[in-house]
Structure 1
Amino acid sequence: MRVHRRRLVAAIAALLAVVLTARLGFWQVDRAAEKTALQSAIDDRGAQPPLPAEALARTPAEADSQYHRRVQLTGRWAAASTVYLDNRQLHGRPGFFVMTPLVLPDGSAVVVQRGWQPRDQADRTKVVPTPTPAGEVAVAGRIAPPPARLYEFEQPGAERIRQNLDLDAYARETGLTLRPLSVWQTDGPPDGLERDWPQPAATVARHQGYAFQWFALSALVAGLYVWFQLFRPWQQRRRRAG
């Protein structure tokens, strides 16, 4: 009776492990497909003509349909409102995203993610001032969501270096009428900033690799169960019978 109970427990445990690991493998396959489809949609939007400034979204719902569209903007920098988002990595290196509002001719403004600069290794509070010309400038870029929020231990303040940027709070802080989006700057005069913005499909290979690992683990569990619970007992019975 105990032998049958142990075999039943082993069978149930093996079945659960196989189902769970296989499900995780299919989940990674789905994630890879989502990233591929997202990249295809981004490429399609990027191939469209640049969006004129007057067509920029004024509501979050409109902004969703404009993400990753190219845009050509003219305006003047609100240089005094530049902020540096901390703990932003590029190719594994810690640094800052440099954010400056661009005031458009109609008086509204767009937060421009101007680029990335590395953190000073000796003093993490030290930032290199980004050249910000006065007067009217032209900015080429792609429409993007605001930067992803990171966990922060303290309530956000109005410091120059900060962890996150909430557009509503930033609008109240600066007195600007901000559009509900941001712009990844893709071109401009030399200013020491790097603009190698992330691509969603860049992690497709990683998801595919994870899927292979989960499927391999699922096959391994199934193989071990068959070997130890079915084949070896059958082999032992055959030897005893012989």
Structure 2
Amino acid sequence: MPPSASRVGLRFWLITAAALAAMAITASLGRWQLSRAAEKQALQATLDTRTRLPAVGADELLEAAKEQQGPMGAPPTDAEVSPHAPNLVHRQVSLEGHWLADHTVFLDNRQMQGRPGFFVLTPLQLQGRADVVMVQRGWIPRNFQDRTQLPPVSTPVGPVRVQGRVAAAPSRLYEFQGGHSAEGSSRIRQNLDLAAFRAETGLALSSLTVLQTDPAGPTGDGLLRDWPVVGAGVDKHYGYAFQWFGLCGLIALLYVWFQIVRRFIRPRSQPAA
């Protein structure tokens, strides 16, 4: 066999091995994404079941918060409050109490319906108790002419009933070094650490919060409550699986065309010179 033919044969088998390896890897990644989608479907079923269950009250909420409390009384993180765990996250809740309006906090750089503004959080002292639950009341636009100006929020005085769903602590956004120190010096904050806020205010604050979902009262509080729909993100994994399987098929088509059709079939079909 001539040296050139030997080199061509070696290159053919190297390309074949590389194509088979790439197809095996992409196909396995596609199957892995399908398995993740199956897990998320089971999770979504759990979430849907929770949202349909009857609303819980203050006793169940506080008991669940104590069970999920982290080390040294720290509130649970998003990883600790997983919908897989037997807790009340995403359950409907109905609470009675009165607002502690002086401790209202405005979380900055939060979006709703594609617009930036504040998430308004106000502690709710439960009826006949010293226990307090932080309520994520809704969203309100900010004044971009004066970024230090607080938007007007109507907070009822006296007993109120709050309808909502149980949630973990508010999600944290990136902040520059030193930003955390400003949490105790302003009502406008980038993030809110419930443990630090508990120490700052001296309130008997629960480690779980409530996303308020009931409509505004007759006078209205000016807040928007278009919270994201509770979902496990199943479609995302199906999309990734489609991409991996598509890449696997593309590799197979390119290999067949360049290494078989153009190398063996087309030359044999051409007439002799």
Report the TM-score range of the alignment, normalised by the length of the smaller protein: 0.7 to 0.9
- String of CA shifts for 1:175-203, please: whole Å, max 9, x gaps: 11111111010114222212122224374
1:137 aligns with 2:160: yes
Which residue is 1:38 aligned to?
43
Which residue is 1:25 aligned to?
30
Q: Which structure 2 segments of 5+ residues have no match?
A: 1-5, 70-80
Residue aligned with 1:196, SS? coil
Which residue is 2:268 aligned to?
238
Residue aligned with 1:58, SS? helix
TM-score, normalised on structure 1? Answer: 0.86
Which residue is 2:234 aligned to?
204
Return 103-112 or 229-238, whichever deviates more. Answer: 229-238
Equivalent position amino acid for 2:95 in 1: L
Q: Which structure 1 segments of 5+ residues have no match?
A: none
Question: Are residues 125 and 12 of structure 1, via their aligned partners in 2, closer, same or farther at CA, if it must alter by over 3 Å?
Answer: farther
How far residue 53 of structure 1 moved from its aligned partner, in angstroms, is 0.7
Return 133-142 or 8-17, whichever deviates more. Answer: 8-17
- String of CA shifts for 1:36-80, please: whole Å, max 9, x gaps: 333321221222221121222232538751111111101111111
Correspondence 1:44-59 to 2 at 5 A: 44-56=49-61, 57-59=64-66
1:4 pairs with one of 6, 9, 25: 9
TM-score, normalised on structure 2? Answer: 0.78
Residue aligned with 1:71, SS? strand
Equivalent position amino acid for 2:212 in 1: Q
Which residue is 1:223 aligned to?
253
Residue aligned with 1:59, SS? helix
Which residue is 2:3 aligned to?
none
Return 187-196 or 168-177, whichever deviates more. Answer: 187-196
Distance 1:86 1:16 in 2: 49
Residue aligned with 2:170, SS? coil
How far residue 108 of structure 1 moved from its aligned partner, in angstroms, is 0.9
Distance 1:31 1:149 in 2: 26
Distance 1:239 1:20 in 2: 35
CA contact (8 A) 1:39 1:199 kept: no
Question: Are residues 9 and 38 of structure 1, via their aligned partners in 2, closer, same or farther at CA, if it must alter by over 3 Å?
Answer: same
Which residue is 2:130 aligned to?
107
Which residue is 2:76 aligned to?
none
Residue aligned with 2:106, SS? strand
Which residue is 1:165 aligned to?
192
CA contact (8 A) 1:32 1:204 kept: yes
Which residue is 1:79 aligned to?
101
Equivalent position amino acid for 1:162 in 2: R
1:61 aligns with 2:68: yes
RMSD: 2.5
Question: Are residues 99 and 16 of structure 1, via their aligned partners in 2, closer, same or farther at CA, if it must alter by over 3 Å?
Answer: farther
Distance 2:8 2:147 in 1: 63
Distance 2:20 2:60 in 1: 56
- String of CA shifts for 1:15-53, please: whole Å, max 9, x gaps: 343334334433443444344333321221222221121
1:183 aligns with 2:210: yes
Distance 2:18 2:148 in 1: 53
Give the number of aligned pairs.
Answer: 242
